[in-house]
Structure 1
């Protein structure tokens, strides 16, 4: 496979250097605008919440202010919950679902929980329908000390002083057909590895933490989502994207070891949602609704336990 070209950038079997990353970046053109889609929604949310800027991404000539939305009357005596979206900018319902939760349901938890939402962690990727940031780095493998990703470092700095009170972190993602057609081949090419085709699951699933599994919690979230959209079945190996299915619609990753976003709070309850927007049974609104259902079910379970 190493001598077979499966991606237009780089030499098969050789990891990318600066020239290949520059060529890749030059191909990433904006197709939508964070300033048009996300920032006006945040402005409207100021009526009911505190909107805080927690950093600025610098990708010359582009600059992106990073915003989070938090309960206005933050009470350290209450449990706190974190919702993140758009860690992978192209995963649209992660961003829109987080914003929809803020607009429609977040106020329901006033007096019961502190809510912190970072709805678009990677605006450069959001604008370009891209998984990586401008440095060809995956923010969702970069939640580590001395992070190589600006997006990840900024979010970790925002959350650090609030970690002790966090009972829940739900990170909103999608698994798309473009994972197989673009992003996995790009990853293999970037790292100088062969590309092995895989299967995209048709439906919603969750990623639990191998080091802190919470099966009843995951099942409660899936039960709520199932009222909105279908849960992904296992493949013929009883796997979803190469990981063993531990319960219907649930797989596990070692979150901290992989530097995944859902590891940053150390909360008892963590999950990563994976919506499948390319299903013939899905619509953009249904995907957003599934994300909101997951967030609410997760908060409800965490507060009850």
Structure 2
């Protein structure tokens, strides 16, 4: 299918997310091999794909995303053999870690080979590498080779979990979008730096801190180490206010905030708390506090939806910062104009 957006026709390549059609993916693969930009789904979020070894194609990604060039990209692979094309000085211990956790929603930062274009790594001597588990991305990379694929959103915006989110952000700036439906996790991958003496978690993701600590007993958490930490992330166009603490404290703080502000707002709340607010509150249910993965999967989609509502402000309940809740709260903290504790 082709859609006309602005002055350009963008190809929408709809595929079966579990059994993607080879003939459709070949169209996308050929486009990437020819220097085009193609968005595609992973199990985390949609990625903006280009040939990792084509500097001019990679430059297009920075330009259309409005992404600072000092912010490195993640290279996506489909087989462990690809690692040797990208990484040097990979010892047996690190290789065993990769084999244990790939494919899956986790990225590793490793020492890069000199043949990898500097624009991919922001001039650093390391490269971020991930092997996704989504059938569409695995099949596409198998056909194409290593693909750089940052999240397919304008820099600073919430990440895309549906093809429509990609269309909303880029209109006619892409060549094609592989539409594989909604992503599985709804949050970007965990990122662990293995380039030094100790593993450092620089971005939490779908794999919980608790599980990672079982695998890496000496894991250090430093979410400010990731090069992108100095840039805005996950921002809505409407101001977003985050309320954290116990459930009782959160509800009380929100009620007090609304009473003082008297502005047009929408409240993102949980299944468990929706009846603790007046009926005239405009509410959107994020999911369940006892099933925080339900919140993680939907949070970016919800943020994009409420951003289009006729409201002045977005109010969001915080959740418990353990398990996947730690990752959800990392994203919400970064998106908030102000946090009420």
TM-score (norm 2): 0.30
Higher relative contact order (CA 8 A, sep 6+): 1
**Structure with the greater alpha carbon radius of gyration:** 2
TM-score (norm 1): 0.32
